[in-house]
Amino acid sequence: MIILVAAHFVAAMLAPALVARLGRRAFLVLALVPLVGFLWMLGQTRGVHAGRGVVEVIDWVPSLDIELAFRLGALQWLMALIVTGIGALVLAYCAWYFADDDPGLSSFSGNFVAFAGSMLGLVVCDDLLVLYVFWELTTVFSYLLIGSDPAQRASRQAAMQALIVTTLGGLAMLVGMLVLGQEAGTHRISALLADAPTGPTTTVAIALVLVGALSKSALIPFHFWLPGAMAAPTPVSAYLHAASMVKAGVYLVALLAPGFAGTAGWHEIVLTLGVGTMLLGGWRALRQYDAKLLLAYGTVSQLGFLLIVFSIGTRATAIAGLALLLGHALFKATLFLVVGIVEHQSGTRDIRALSGVGRESPVVLVTAVVAGASMAGLPPLLGFVAKESVFGSLLDVARESDRPGLSPIAGWLVLVGVVLGSVLTVAYTARLLWGTLATKPGLEPTPYTPEPAAFLLAPVVLTVLTVGLGFAGHALSVVLAPHAGQFPSGAHDVELALWHGLELPLAFSALALLLGLGLFVRRRDVGAFQGAVSWSWTAEGGYRLLMRTVDRLAVETTGLTQRGSVAAYLVVILVVVLLLPGASVLTALDGPVDTVLWDTPAQAAVGAVMIVAALFTARSRRRLRAVMLAGVTGYGTAMMFALHGAPDLALTQVLVETTSLVVFVLVLRRLPAYFTDRPLSPRRYLRMALGLAVGSVIGLVMLVTTGARTADPVSATYPEEAVEFGGGHNIVNVILVDIRAWDTFGEISVLVAAATGVASLLFLDTRIAGIRRVYDIPFPASVSKVSTQAGRRVWLPGPRTLPPDRRSIIFEVVARLLFPALIVFAFYLLLAGHNNPGGGFAAGMVTGLALMVRYLAGGRYELDEAAPIDAGVLMGTGLFVAAVSALAPLVFGGAVLQSAQVDLVLPLVGKLHLVTSTLFDIGVYLVVVGLVLDMLRTLGSRIDRQILREQRDAEQAAAP
């Protein structure tokens, strides 16, 4: 069975390719998958009858007690036959319903087959949570199928409405299932039913599960989504919304009835809503002019009927319910398919416009009439057999108290409701058949293209079954007996049969037929009466009101909380910092705190400079001054690191600070020198107070928390581990590339993202273009071409492209001499970093600094000369190298990011101690170099170019 379900999903994935190759004929190939399933299910008949259905179990999530458990009982077998059999027929029907050039045909085919697979999984699985998964899969595919024409507003809305309603029920059901599983201690449905839990918790759980079942099967108050779903193509309506998916709720009730029909509230909920739905659906079906909508309301009515029968829980109702389930699937699918054919061949399905179709196509006429007769409950069809036995079993409940706990009065009420519902059924069946097929006086015959014979295959096969199975009552009773056998035997042994004798059930059938036909004959009066008593309040209106309320609430909440100002959000965050940690730190300040003034007096000196610089930064009104002063705090921090005993940090901080200062200056040349002049407002004092308060609270928190520390640092063992496992003596570097290498990997990814962001903000389209070497650019007019023969070498090639007044020969010479030295230093840092201060970050920054010197000395072409490579390529390579070195240990059976150590003795170089994490560090190095290069290209070269262009434009504008 698992293979069958999986085969559907595989076919669904192949479907688009098939459709692309074969067009609509692909549906015939796809139909083979459910057909094989159908034949396999038929092969299981003997085993199912003997109560020895197939069981398959695969562990899935053992920690949550979820198993892929599948079990074939009689109920599951019947549902699976319906799902696969009708699925195969409807897929074959699709081959004639659609045209090759219908938009979205490929995705439709995939969704349809995937739906069939989910539905099959739903009806054969034996685990509550797996059932839930399949349940929601059917919801999702139903959503996609209803909305298969996304260009139409109506179809989008119908899809969304069906999704919201059924998902709401599904979520309630999930909660119910979890509670039920908790109570019973198992999620296996068969085990759950064998030893059903009881008690108030179970009652709540069952009520929640029922919400799911009722929403899926479109019972009041959820019924409105089903008529809406008729926006879907007709094959979808026939399969999902008549034969299979809407039966999921019915299936669930039938499945749980043996264990839980006695639960408090079960009968009250299902019987009330079931009878109400049956009557409401029939009543509204009588008012429809769209044949599909008429059928949809008829389905709503029949679903109510089915739920009534299955929820009662006697041996007789169980067997009658199964017959009704099968009968309904056969005749309703047929009717939908026939309506689809009529619409396809005549172009309309409005019963006011159709006339003479029956005369044009006798086969359509016969199949529709037979299916309709089965729906109305006429002998000798399956629908009649089923309805007779339902009447009989309900009579047993009312007269003989077949179901203890259900009072005879309730039994009679249900019986009356069901008979009334049957009256309406007869009436709307007549309305449908007459409206669709009859030749009406005073109406031109509808133009009707004769249908291809194969188009009729599916409805004809289903009709044959409707007739044939009507005579196979005994065989059906025997095969389905294992399901009914779960209930205690009732007053009578019920068997499905055409003839039960001249008894009350037959009288009910006759009564329903007569009254129903009477309603049809007097349809004008009925219509007038319905119009007179129609009520304005509908469940759909309630749904709209609810959705609007939720939406309005969301708008109000968002409007209240999302003020749209960054400063306002920051204030909220900072005030929370003040209130929560601030308040708790004040209560914790009781004992004396162990403090020292400083570790070395130099800290105090540096700290004083930093504080003054920070205060002046806050006061500064010039951009450049603010940046420079912030730089002072940065260099001060580097000093603090050095004094603390953190040479790696000090080194990196100095390099980063220098780079950021240059980058700041590169951008600030474009911005106004002063910050925007703003009048001093009282808000400024508020911000000052907030800054003061936050600073103080954080100081206090640090004071209290460091004083409260009792445990040894986790890093106490790092010195030993760094050498033993990481193979390095620089512990900080080993932490970065080995112990906490995941952090580092995340960090370099962030750097790549940031650099990409910078590039896209500056280049807006692509950054690949624009790397040009000096020899392939024209010289500016002011520069005379200098020979580049031997002996005429220049210090740097790039500056020749600059105007003379921007060149500085001393700077060029310094850059020429400094560059190789910096690069060598960077490589030293990179390779030595594992044992001495340095590493990928520092080495990358030094290389970046070297590039920056070249750029500042020689302009943007000099940068391209120094690094004629795209920064994106550099960063991508770096990330790739780091990822490869992280994953490589897996190949050798190690863990991700594990390091290995290799000792090599090379001639000349001597003994070389290699650690594989160096490779990771090289990845980090490349990313950092790429980041700096990208900043220089974007904030440097790119802005240079923009300034030049603006100057040129201004000159052209000034010139006459």
Partner 1 sequence: MSTNLTLIVTASALIGCGVYLVLERSLTRVLVGLLVMGNGINLLFLIAGGRAGDAPLKGSTAPSAMSDPLPQALVLTAIVIALGTTAFLLAMAHRSWQLNSNDDVQDDVEDASIRRLAAADEASDSHDLATGGQDDDVRTEEGA
Residues 663-692 that bind partner 1 (CB under 8 A): 663-664, 667-668, 670-672, 675-676, 678, 687-688, 690-692
Contact between 611 and partner 1 per CB under 8 A: yes
Among 13, 20, 547, 786, binds partner 1 (CB under 8 A): 547
* Rounded distance between C-alpha atoms, residue 534 and residue 513, angstroms: 25
Q: Quick one: three-class SS letters along 123-188?
A: HHECEHHHHHHHHHHHHHHHHHHHCCCCCCHHHHHHHHHHHHHHHHHHHHHHHHHHHHHHHHCCCE
Of 358 and 840, nearer to partner 1 (C-beta) is: 840
Of 583 and 750, nearer to partner 1 (C-beta) is: 750
* Rounded distance between C-alpha atoms, residue 278 and residue 298, angstroms: 8
> Which positions from 459 through 518 interact with partner 1, judged by CB under 8 A?
none
153 contact partners, CB below 8 Å, separation of at least 6: none
> Which positions from 315 through 374 interact with partner 1, judged by CB under 8 A?
none
Of 407 and 696, nearer to partner 1 (C-beta) is: 696
Q: How far is the CB of 632 from partner 1 (least distance, A)?
A: 10
> Which positions from 929 through 948 interact with partner 1, judged by CB under 8 A?
931, 934-935, 938-939, 943
Binding mask 712-751 for partner 1 (x = CB under 8 A): -xxxx-xxx-xx-----xxxx--xx---x--xx--x--xx
> Which positions from 903 through 932 interact with partner 1, judged by CB under 8 A?
928, 931
Contact between 586 and partner 1 per CB under 8 A: no
> Which positions from 507 through 536 interact with partner 1, judged by CB under 8 A?
527, 530-531
738, 755, 748, 751: which is closest to 923 by C-alpha?
Answer: 748
* Rounded distance between C-alpha atoms, residue 421 and residue 305, angstroms: 8
Q: What pairs with residue 152 in β-bridges? A: none
Q: Could you tell me which stretch among 182-190, 596-604, 812-820, 877-885 binds partner 1 (CB under 8 A)?
A: 596-604
Of 59 and 677, nearer to partner 1 (C-beta) is: 677
Q: How far is the CB of 874 from partner 1 (least distance, A)?
A: 15
> Which positions from 757 through 786 interact with partner 1, judged by CB under 8 A?
757-758, 761-762
Q: Residue 379 is encoded by which pair of tokens?
A: 């002998």
**Phi, psi at residue 933, to the nearest 5°?**
-60, -40
* Rounded distance between C-alpha atoms, residue 799 and residue 376, angstroms: 95
CB 67 within 8 A of CB 188: yes
Q: Could you tell me which stretch among 190-198, 363-371, 602-610, 776-784 binds partner 1 (CB under 8 A)?
A: 602-610
Of 106 and 157, nearer to partner 1 (C-beta) is: 157
Contact between 623 and partner 1 per CB under 8 A: yes
CB 818 within 8 A of CB 850: yes
Contact between 952 and partner 1 per CB under 8 A: no
Binding mask 792-831 for partner 1 (x = CB under 8 A): ----------------------------------------
CB 122 within 8 A of CB 159: no
Among 20, 443, 475, 593, binds partner 1 (CB under 8 A): 593
Of 644 and 773, nearer to partner 1 (C-beta) is: 644
Contact between 656 and partner 1 per CB under 8 A: yes
3-class SS at 902? strand
> Which positions from 174 through 213 interact with partner 1, judged by CB under 8 A?
none
Q: How far is the CB of 158 from partner 1 (least distance, A)?
A: 7
* Rounded distance between C-alpha atoms, residue 216 and residue 165, angstroms: 8
Q: Could you tell me which stretch among 44-52, 69-77, 367-375, 594-602 binds partner 1 (CB under 8 A)?
A: 594-602
Contact between 636 and partner 1 per CB under 8 A: yes
Q: Quick one: three-class SS letters along 284-311?
A: HHCCCCEHHHHHHHHHHHHHHHHHHHHH
Of 66 and 335, nearer to partner 1 (C-beta) is: 335
> Which positions from 264 through 303 interact with partner 1, judged by CB under 8 A?
287-290, 293
Q: Quick one: three-class SS letters along 771-823?
A: CCCHHHCCCCCCCCCCCCCCCCCCCCCHHHHCCHHHCCHHHHHHHHHHHHHHH
CB 411 within 8 A of CB 398: yes
Count the residues of the shown chain that bind partner 1, applying the rule CB under 8 A: 147
CB 283 within 8 A of CB 267: no
Of 555 and 817, nearer to partner 1 (C-beta) is: 555
Contact between 576 and partner 1 per CB under 8 A: no
Residue 622 DSSP code: B
Of 674 and 779, nearer to partner 1 (C-beta) is: 674
> Which positions from 154 through 173 interact with partner 1, judged by CB under 8 A?
154, 156-158, 160-161, 164
Q: Residue 861 is encoded by which pair of tokens?
A: 């072409």
- For 411, 505, 508, 587, the CA distances from 511, given in Å and listed in that order, are 19, 10, 5, 83
Among 45, 106, 107, 603, binds partner 1 (CB under 8 A): 603
> Which positions from 391 through 450 interact with partner 1, judged by CB under 8 A?
none
> Which positions from 11 through 40 interact with partner 1, judged by CB under 8 A?
none
Q: How far is the CB of 161 from partner 1 (least distance, A)?
A: 6
> Which positions from 847 through 906 interact with partner 1, judged by CB under 8 A?
none
> How many residues are recorded in the chain?
960
Among 447, 541, 780, 804, binds partner 1 (CB under 8 A): 541
Q: How far is the CB of 576 from partner 1 (least distance, A)?
A: 13
Omega before 719 within 30 of 0, i.e. cis? no
Q: Residue 392 is encoded by which pair of tokens?
A: 């009989």
* Amino acid (1-letter code) at residue 22: L
**Phi, psi at residue 624, to the nearest 5°?**
-65, -40
* Rounded distance between C-alpha atoms, residue 216 and residue 119, angstroms: 13
Of 702 and 890, nearer to partner 1 (C-beta) is: 702
CA dihedral for 176, 181, 184, 189, sign (positive or negative): positive
Contact between 150 and partner 1 per CB under 8 A: no
Contact between 544 and partner 1 per CB under 8 A: yes
Q: How far is the CB of 483 from partner 1 (least distance, A)?
A: 38
